[in-house]
Structures are given as C-alpha cells and as structure tokens.
Amino acid sequence: MWASPSTLWDKVFKIDADGASNPWNWSGGAPLGVCADEETEQIFWTSDQTAGAQRIYVSNYDGTGTTILATGTANSDIRGIDCDSNFVYWVQQGGTHAVRRCDKADGANITTLVDPGTAPLRDIKVDLVNSHLYYIQVSGGIRRCDLDGSNDGNIFGSGTYGVIYLDPDSSHIYYTLGGVIRRVNYSGTGDTLIYDASGGSPDNTAISSIQVDLFGEKIYWMDALDQNHGRCDLDGGNPDKTWGTASPGNTIPQRGDIAYPQGTFYAKPNR
C-alpha cells in the first residue's frame, strides 16, 4: 500500500506481490503517510491540512468505514505515522515539531511525547520488541525514545535522512539518503551501504519511502522524482528500479509512504 500526495492523484493505493496495481477507493486530501495494522486489518494515513491542521484517517483494508481519527496541531504537517496495539504515533513539523500519539481505538488522549527543538521531524517507526520509537530529525540524524517519550536522544548521524525501516530481530535500521539505501545497527555502529539507486535509468535520486520484506528478503522503495517503485535483495543484489505497474497518471507514486500488511505479501514481524 502507498499514499500518493500528488495533485493529480491524491490517493491511497494497493499493489500485489507480482507488481500489479489495485487502486484503493479512497481519494483526496494529499495523503503523505500510511501504516497498516494486520491485527485489526485497518489502515491509518495522514491528509493535507484542513482548517490549518492535518488529519489522521482510519479505514478497513478494503477502504470501507473511513473516519477521521485525530487532528494534528494547527499549521503543522504530519510527516510519518506508525501504530502498535494501543496507539497511533506520528511526527509533525511546521507550527509544532513534535512526536505525538493518540488512542488507536477512538483518537482520544492526543499526547506530545517528545518536543526535540526547532528542527522539523520526518519518519517514525515503532519497535515493539524493545519498546522504542525511532524517528528522523532534519539535520539531527536518527533519534530514539521509549514509547512514552522518555530517554530521547540521538543514536546515529547528523544528516537529513529520508525514511527508516526497523528490523528488531537483527537490531538493524535501514535508512535512505537521497537515492542511497544504507543499514546501521541499533547501537549506531556498522553503517553499511546496501544499494545506490541513483544514476542510470531511471535515476532514483529521491527515495521517499522504504519497506523491507524480511521473509521474501527484498527491499522495496518509491522514488519521488521518477515516480516509480524499485526493489532489490537485502544485500543490494538483483536491483530492479522499475518494478511495478508503469501506467502514468493513476498508479505510480509521486512521493509519500508505503506499508505492506498481511494479506498482500508482507507482515511486519512481532506484531
């Protein structure tokens, strides 16, 4: 699944493991982030600003039952979203730079967990195995805190990374920088180049989202400039930068986020 905030599409889409696209029946609102909960078979995603603030929506896997779960802080953009059994977590930038959460069941009890300063925030991921949140701060690298926001601190780098994916079983973080996919240990050591998708044709220089299929041993990404999907092996081998449907105007993501729930071809581990 992916969210495409293009002014032409503004939709949440689904794609099968064979690369065939199945557009989902929700559109509008320039969705930026999406996460899937295979326990409840729900999808959560963010919209553009409505009355000065972004909204978080929730629906069933088939797109039915769409409702507004929560509304962000005024004049702020939600740039990353994830969930666990009890809460939906997000990072926002603009009017307020903060890590926040609300109750997953009804959107109640919106709480600011971390207010790390003036730099905008980007992606966020939940590590249920170790009860941590990982998120990106512009020019501040990858940061980590407990699920309640305590013990917040930088664990790796000082750059403006794009997006992250967690492998808690191996204690690895996959992250992007432009068109490059890299991997680092939870400890912040062992930074390793996995695959450089920039150069060649197409030139994937703006990877806007990443997901890792640990069972199928594949890394999937979206490129915001060439507006296509790519994938490679976990070690960077067998790259395919044009995987997926290539029909313009309807199915190719411009930017946004991707999530693979159970029922397509990937289930996040330890859910």
Residue 61: the pLDDT is 79
Please give the Cα distance from 137 to 124 (Å, whole number).
10
* HEC profile of 115-146: CCCCCCEEEEEEECCCCEEEEEECCCEEEEEE
Residue 27: the pLDDT is 47
Residue 32: the pLDDT is 66
Q: Where are the domains of the chain?
A: 2-258
Residue 209: the pLDDT is 81
Cβ 133 vs Cβ 126: under 8 Å: yes
Residue 11: the pLDDT is 57
Cβ 136 vs Cβ 121: under 8 Å: yes
User: Looking at domain 2-258, what is its CATH homologous superfamily?
Assistant: TolB, C-terminal domain (2.120.10.30)
Residue 205: the pLDDT is 80
pLDDT in 10s for each residue of the chain, 271 residues: 555 555 444 556 665 555 555 555 454 456 667 888 888 888 888 876 656 677 888 888 777 888 889 887 776 777 788 999 999 999 887 777 899 999 999 999 999 999 887 788 888 999 999 999 999 998 889 999 999 999 999 999 998 898 899 999 899 999 999 889 999 999 999 999 999 988 877 777 888 888 888 888 889 888 777 667 788 999 999 998 877 544 333 333 334 455 544 322 223 333 3
Residue 258: the pLDDT is 53
pTM for this predicted structure: 0.84
Strand order through the sheet with 11-15: 21-27, 11-15, 2-4, 257-258
Residue 202: the pLDDT is 75
Please give the Cα distance from 262 to 250 (Å, whole number).
24
